[in-house]
């Protein structure tokens, strides 16, 4: 009898706790929601986040596990960090992220095999400092891709094979990078071909930003279509999604998703964040008005509306979208704290610095 009473009281207590947790959750005041983004979106797409090896050793790790089911190494797999010298690979950071993912059954997106930025200094030159030939550079790219993809075969399910090859100048098609200057356009197709040979099961993406611009969008479309038509193994388009409170508009985002969906490949939003400052594409010097970095109610509201709209469309396009990845975990750190203005705090993500969900979070999971 005593036992029964005891357990009935326990049950009541349990019920009231979970009720109050739910209430708290919908009011957006607590991080104790039991469900995470990955659960709300289980019938839609994977929910990912870009991480550093260090973040996974802090209390952010628990938040990552609660909310996400996919990881992207923010920097650890880029050519510079992972392949600092021709004969030297630095696996430590990437390995620790992959091991964390394996221990906890998360997916991993590899980022990135070929990019013009964060390249190691040896890559484009010989030991005398002269620019290498096309043959040498392509061989280096091939070796790099085979070594990296092979190491993570079976644990990295998708790769951003080529990142940002399109030019931002309206009248220029491809970015005049060292890759293009030395190898010509074929380095792009070769990179995909080699990634596919190294891991035939990996899902291969072309990844780029400002995909919402009608001009750049058409160039990305043209590139991906030409690769597809030529039989190059490309399986998806990564839309980075570094957006802001003032863009994209609903129409702009919908026409972007519609256009790319027409290619018949999978789409992923690969680097999502929504800056509270109006979009600027180029780094610039600090101005006096940049001192106003408060996360005001107005900024919070504008951001929340953008997030709400974006996820409404992501859900609408769930047939073609296979993943959404946030670029960083919480407002403790975002690359936007230093871009386009150095040392200007931004608040582009769904979790604040105490790792609590912001109002925007509840807009994303409520429909």
Residue list 20-39, contact with ligand GLA (CB under 6 A)? none
CB 238 within 8 A of CB 206: yes
Closer of 63 and 77 to ligand GLA (Cβ):
77
Q: How far is the CB of 34 from ligand GLA (least distance, A)?
A: 31
Closer of 56 and 165 to ligand GLA (Cβ):
165
Q: How far is the CB of 238 from ligand GLA (least distance, A)?
A: 9
Q: Could you check whether the bond before residue 186 is cis, i.e. omega within 30 degrees of 0?
A: no
The answer to whether residue 209 forms part of the interface with ligand GLA (CB under 6 A) is: yes
Chain residue whose CB lies nearest ligand GLA: 335
Q: How far is the CB of 360 from ligand GLA (least distance, A)?
A: 20
- Nearest 10 degrees: Cα torsion 95, 98, 102, 107: -170
Whole-angstrom distance, CA of residue 299 vs CA of residue 297: 6
197-231 per-residue burial string, b: 16 or more CB within 10 A, e: under 16: ebbeebbbbbbbbbbbbeebbebbbebbeebeeee
Closer of 111 and 306 to ligand GLA (Cβ):
111
DSSP element (H, E) containing 17: helix 2-27
- Residue 178 tokens read as 């060292």
Using the rule CB under 6 A, which residue among 271, 273, 331, 346 binds ligand GLA? 271
Interaction pattern, residues 303-342, with ligand GLA; x per rule: CB under 6 A: --------------------------------x-------
Q: How far is the CB of 302 from ligand GLA (least distance, A)?
A: 22
The answer to whether residue 177 forms part of the interface with ligand GLA (CB under 6 A) is: no
Closer of 199 and 271 to ligand GLA (Cβ):
271
- Nearest 10 degrees: Cα torsion 184, 186, 192, 198: -100
Closer of 272 and 365 to ligand GLA (Cβ):
272
**How far, in Å, are 118, 339, 341, 366 from residue 121 at the CA level?**
9, 23, 26, 47
> How many of the chain's residues bind ligand GLA (CB under 6 A)?
6
3-state secondary structure of 48: strand
Closer of 74 and 199 to ligand GLA (Cβ):
74
Interaction pattern, residues 94-123, with ligand GLA; x per rule: CB under 6 A: -----------------x------------
DSSP E strands in the chain: the ranges are 46-51, 70-73, 107-114, 158-163, 203-208, 236-239, 242-244, 266-275, 321-326
**How far, in Å, are 123, 224, 263 from residue 182 at the CA level?**
12, 21, 29
Q: How far is the CB of 74 from ligand GLA (least distance, A)?
A: 7
Closer of 117 and 296 to ligand GLA (Cβ):
117
The answer to whether residue 206 forms part of the interface with ligand GLA (CB under 6 A) is: no
Whole-angstrom distance, CA of residue 271 vs CA of residue 266: 16
- Active-site amino acid positions: 164, 271
CB 40 within 8 A of CB 316: no
- Residue 253 tokens read as 């985002």
Which residues pair with residue 321 across a beta bridge?
267
Closer of 238 and 357 to ligand GLA (Cβ):
238
Between strands 158-163 and 321-326, the pairing is unpaired
Q: How far is the CB of 196 from ligand GLA (least distance, A)?
A: 21
Using the rule CB under 6 A, which residue among 70, 240, 256, 275 binds ligand GLA? 240
Using the rule CB under 6 A, which residue among 163, 193, 275, 325 binds ligand GLA? 163
Q: How far is the CB of 43 from ligand GLA (least distance, A)?
A: 28
Q: How far is the CB of 50 from ligand GLA (least distance, A)?
A: 8
Whole-angstrom distance, CA of residue 71 vs CA of residue 96: 12
List contacts with ligand GLA (CB under 6 A). Answer: 111, 163, 209, 240, 271, 335
């Amino acid at each position: 009898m005593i036992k029964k009473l005891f357990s009935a009281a326990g049950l009541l207590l349990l019920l009231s706790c979970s009720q109050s947790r739910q209430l708290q959750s919908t009011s957006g005041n607590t991080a104790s929601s039991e469900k995470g983004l990955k659960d709300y979106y289980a019938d839609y797409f994977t929910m990912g986040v870009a991480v550093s090896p260090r973040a996974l050793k802090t209390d952010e790790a628990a938040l990552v596990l609660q909310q996400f089911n996919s990881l992207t190494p923010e920097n650890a797999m880029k050519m510079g960090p992972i392949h600092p010298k021709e004969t030297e690979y630095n696996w430590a950071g990437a390995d620790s992220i992959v091991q964390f993912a394996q221990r906890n059954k998360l997916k991993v997106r590899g980022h990135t095999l070929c990019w013009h930025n964060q390249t190691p200094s040896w890559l484009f030159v010989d030991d005398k400092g002269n620019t290498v030939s096309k043959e040498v550079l392509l061989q280096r790219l091939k070796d790099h891709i085979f070594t990296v993809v092979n190491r993570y075969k079976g644990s990295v399910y998708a790769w951003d094979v080529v990142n940002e090859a399109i030019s931002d100048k309206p009248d220029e098609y491809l970015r005049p990078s060292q890759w293009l200057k030395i190898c010509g356009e074929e380095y792009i197709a070769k990179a995909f071909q080699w990634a596919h040979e190294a891991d035939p099961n990996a899902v291969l993406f072309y990844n780029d930003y400002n995909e919402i611009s009608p001009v750049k969008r058409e160039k990305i479309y043209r590139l991906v279509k030409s690769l597809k038509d030529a039989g190059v193994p490309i399986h998806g388009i990564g839309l980075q999604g570094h957006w802001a409170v003032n863009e994209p508009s609903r129409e702009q985002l919908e026409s972007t998703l519609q256009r790319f969906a027409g290619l018949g490949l999978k789409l992923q939003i690969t680097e999502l964040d929504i800056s509270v400052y109006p979009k600027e594409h180029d780094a610039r010097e600090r101005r006096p008005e940049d001192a106003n970095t408060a996360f005001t109610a107005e900024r919070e509201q504008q951001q929340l509306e953008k997030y709400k709209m974006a996820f409404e469309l992501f859900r609408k396009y769930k047939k073609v979208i296979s993943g959404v990845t946030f670029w960083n975990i919480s407002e403790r750190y975002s690359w936007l704290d230093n871009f386009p203005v150095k040392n200007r705090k931004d608040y582009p993500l769904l979790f604040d610095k105490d790792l609590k969900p912001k109002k925007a979070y509840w807009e994303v999971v409520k429909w």
